[in-house]
Amino acid sequence: MAMSGTQHRESNSSGGSSIDKHLDSGKYVRYTAEQVEALERVYMECPKPSSLRRQQLIRDCPILSNIEPKQIKVWFQNRRCREKQRKEASRLHTVNRKLSAMNKLLMEENNRLQKQVSLLVCENGYMRQQLRIPSARAADASCDSAVTTPQHYMRDANTPAGFLSIAEETLTEFLSKATGTAVDWVQMPGMKPGPESVGIFAISQGCIGVAARACGLVSLEPTKVAEILKDRLSWFRECRSLEVFTTVPAGNGGTIELVYTQTYAPTTLAPARDFWTLRYTTTLENGSLVVCERSLSGSGAGPDAAAAAQFVRAEVLSSGYLIRPCEGGGSIIHIVDHLNLQPWSVPEVLQPLYESSKVVAQKMTIAALRYIRQIAQETSGEVVYGLGRQPAVLRTFSQRLSRGFNHAVNGFNDDGWSVVNCDGAEDIIISVNSTKNLSGTSNLATPLTSLGGILCAKASMLLQNVPPAALIRFLREHRSEWADFNIDAYSAASLKSGSYTYPGTRPTSFTGNQIIMPLGHTIEHEEMLEVVRLEGHSLAQEDAFVSRDIHLLQICSGIDENSVGPCSELIFAPIDEMFPDDAPLVPSGFRIIPLDSKPGDKKDATTGNRTLDLTSGLEVGLATSHAAGDASSCYTNRSVLTIAFQFPFDSSLQDNVAGMALQYVRSVISSVQRVAMAISPSGIDPAVSAKLSPGSPEALTLAQWICQSYSYHLGTELLRSDTLVGDLVLKHFWHHQDAILCCSLKSQPMFIFANQAGLDMMETTLVALQDITLDKIFDESGRKALFSDFAKIMQQGFAYLPGGICMSTMGRHVSYEQAIAWKVLAEQDNNVHCLAFSFINWTFV
């Protein structure tokens, strides 16, 4: 006998109509086709079992009147079970298809690894043989392995035949990287393959340039995937422009294109990159679609030679996309990005960004695969967004915010930007765009067309031991700690009505409340799009009941410590409360890029210009728990913070707005310094009495020794007052206008302490200061003057050194009118503890 709840359909012998029967209390209940149809209609209209509407529909249907309510209830239960079973079967079928495709990818990867192991075994045997034959060793030393160092030939091509020859060579090289062993691939840390993962990711090891590879399954057809990937502007956030100059038919159904691409620089410290490439699109014999690309020789200056002069020409080694149709629909994608980003052209502190295959994977390879999966989910209706907006509209908002921020950070001349001021003391760059040629706007009818222009204040700085995710998270959640509500109100009002009322003339109070309304997020929540409402009210009595709320459109990314994104960002722009699709956007915000440290790198070496060190502004004090041998740990967690704020202005108020912008960004930097100090896990303690390092006197005690020794040797007060006691001594010493530094008296004198001006002059931190030797900061004449007066210092106790030039840790020259050196005596035993130097009237040159 069938179990209760089992059901099936069969033909009715009397009329041939369908019946539905199930077992209820040991009895089969038979339904006619008309009754089944009526029950289906009721179920489809009201699937919820407790719905009053369902009961009403049953009562209003005469054909169901002769069926007991209990029997109808059982039928609905069975119907709901059938639906759940169908959904589960469909889900299992989808998972099974994904697992089959993933298994195919893993088998291919396993075959490739087996080939790679075989090659490595052969190479190992060859090397052993060469070691046994010393005479052959020199002859073979210059031979490079074709596997680990693939040769890349750059040559000119001026004919279709030459183009086709390069295209076929590029195709062969690309396929050998995508599915072969031309590059030694290793699994990218933290990216494990699986049915729910985006794909399989690998990075290069020991090859020319930097390379990354990805394999994944998406539910889009190959032609659609190729169309998306070729439109690099849509998914690669750093892509500024992509222009196809020439299209040549390949004769085999494919096309050859000459492409000029410009990319943004992620910070203000390095020039942007451009590429001049040949792109080949073709279909293989097995039906796979291939888009491969590589650089061409020659300058390929692009549409404007003057504009191209702002870029460093980088190189694309054979790269591209292999897209294979998948059984049951969808595509299997292989992506290879292989670049030479010319790291020599950037400051040393930023070179890890341009020498890291992991960074290329995060910015390009993973981003491409994630974007395709995002489009696939949006197409299938799996993604639900807020405020009733279409996914494409919200995605465009995110792209415009990111693009507008990059636009401000780079400030290209051909976009109308010009630098009007560079604050040498704080390295804040003020630039102006009077052409209204802004990437953040898309509608020429917007109020931006009536603006006098946009002014941008920007700066980049080095962070040490400050987690990027934690800092961005704090800036997002505690806006009132760093932002000025009146500045936000000014920007919002300028965009809304073309009004340029200077901040302060219509005072507004911020209530401290901010409401974050989510709009959407990417598939792995690595980026969020939000609307932020800042609640405010007017302080003027006549406007007391007028709402002064401000709305910001905001993207936030990288706030999860486990995120594999390339950076952490908080970018926002004022927007009208009606939230129109074509709203003008003038973005501002923060970007923090982690720097991969080099093993054994124990110097804070950088030759870049316009670089601030946030932690150089921290108050005196280091944690007592850090041993001197752990000082190098400050180099293992470095990152670069870029700040850019944009302000609309009228031409008659440019100077006023420039002054306001400079003052505001200074205030933001100061606030971020305090936040960085608070959240840094490095042990930096804001307490004034914290020790400098184990074995050193406390900061207060050392400041007292320095001041007392200065007075003893020179007969005058360093702090211009002898009545200061306790913490006031350290406070006045810390804020003294002259740069004061102390160094040990070892065989190789090392700096151990400095005041704020000293850290600013050296462009370093208290932690990093202790790795700097005395002789490194002086030029040749300065070292000679110091050595000639050293005996005088030790005998007399002090010496006046002539003015000269010294060098900061950032490689910048610092001039000073005069320097004073004196011995610092320990109060207890009157022994010499260290040497102190005071640099008077110093400035960067």
Per-residue model confidence as pLDDT tens digits over 297-351: 765 555 666 667 889 999 999 999 999 998 778 899 999 999 999 999 998 889 9
**Amino acid letter, residue 19:** I
Residues with pLDDT less than 50, the chain: 1-19, 21, 23-26, 135-156, 195, 425, 439-447, 500, 502-505, 544-545, 597-636, 682-697
**Amino acid letter, residue 235:** W
What is the per-residue burial (b if ≥16 Cβ within 10 Å, else e) of 651-671? eebbeebbebbbebbbebbeb
> Would you say the pTM of this structure is higher than 0.75?
no
Round to whole Å and give the CA distance between 354 and 827: 51
Q: Are 838 and 824 in contact (CB under 8 A)?
A: no
Round to whole Å and give the CA distance between 120 and 9: 64
**Amino acid letter, residue 513:** N
Report the Cα–Cα distance between both ends of the chain, in Å, rounded. Answer: 97
Cβ-based neighbours of 586, under 8 Å, separated by 6 or more? 404, 438, 440, 448, 454, 491, 495, 573, 574, 646, 648
Cβ-based neighbours of 424, under 8 Å, separated by 6 or more? 843, 844
pLDDT of 684: 39
Alpha-carbon distance values, 712 to 367, 556, 817, 830, 839 (Å): 64, 56, 23, 12, 19
Q: Is 759 helix (H, G, I), strand (E, B) or coil?
A: helix
Round to whole Å and give the CA distance between 270 and 265: 6
Q: Is 662 helix (H, G, I), strand (E, B) or coil?
A: helix
Q: To the nearest 10°, report the CA torsion of 168, 169, 172, 173.
A: -150
Among residues 732, 746, 743, 737, the alpha carbon closest in space to that of 703 is found at 732
Element (H, E) at 319: strand 315-325
Q: State phi, psi for 213 to the nearest 5 degrees.
A: -140, 145
Round to whole Å and give the CA distance between 621 and 845: 30
Cβ-based neighbours of 801, under 8 Å, separated by 6 or more? 782, 785, 786, 789, 818, 819, 820, 821
Per-residue model confidence as pLDDT tens digits over 726-780: 778 888 888 888 999 998 887 778 888 888 888 888 877 777 787 788 888 888 8
Give the burial class of 759: count Cβ atoms within 10 A of its Cβ; 0-12 exposed, 13-18 middle, 19 or more buried. buried
pLDDT of 577: 79
Q: Are 515 and 533 in contact (CB under 8 A)?
A: yes
**Amino acid letter, residue 219:** S
Cβ-based neighbours of 382, under 8 Å, separated by 6 or more? none
Structural tokens at position 613? 């060190």
Element (H, E) at 100: helix 69-132
Q: To the nearest 10°, report the CA torsion of 518, 522, 524, 525.
A: -30
Q: Is 829 helix (H, G, I), strand (E, B) or coil?
A: coil
Cβ-based neighbours of 35, under 8 Å, separated by 6 or more? 20, 63, 64, 67
pLDDT of 701: 84
pLDDT of 386: 56
Cβ-based neighbours of 829, under 8 Å, separated by 6 or more? none
Element (H, E) at 48: none
Q: Is 134 helix (H, G, I), strand (E, B) or coil?
A: helix
Would you give the DSSP letter of residue 651? Answer: G
pLDDT of 694: 31
Round to whole Å and give the CA distance between 719 and 706: 11
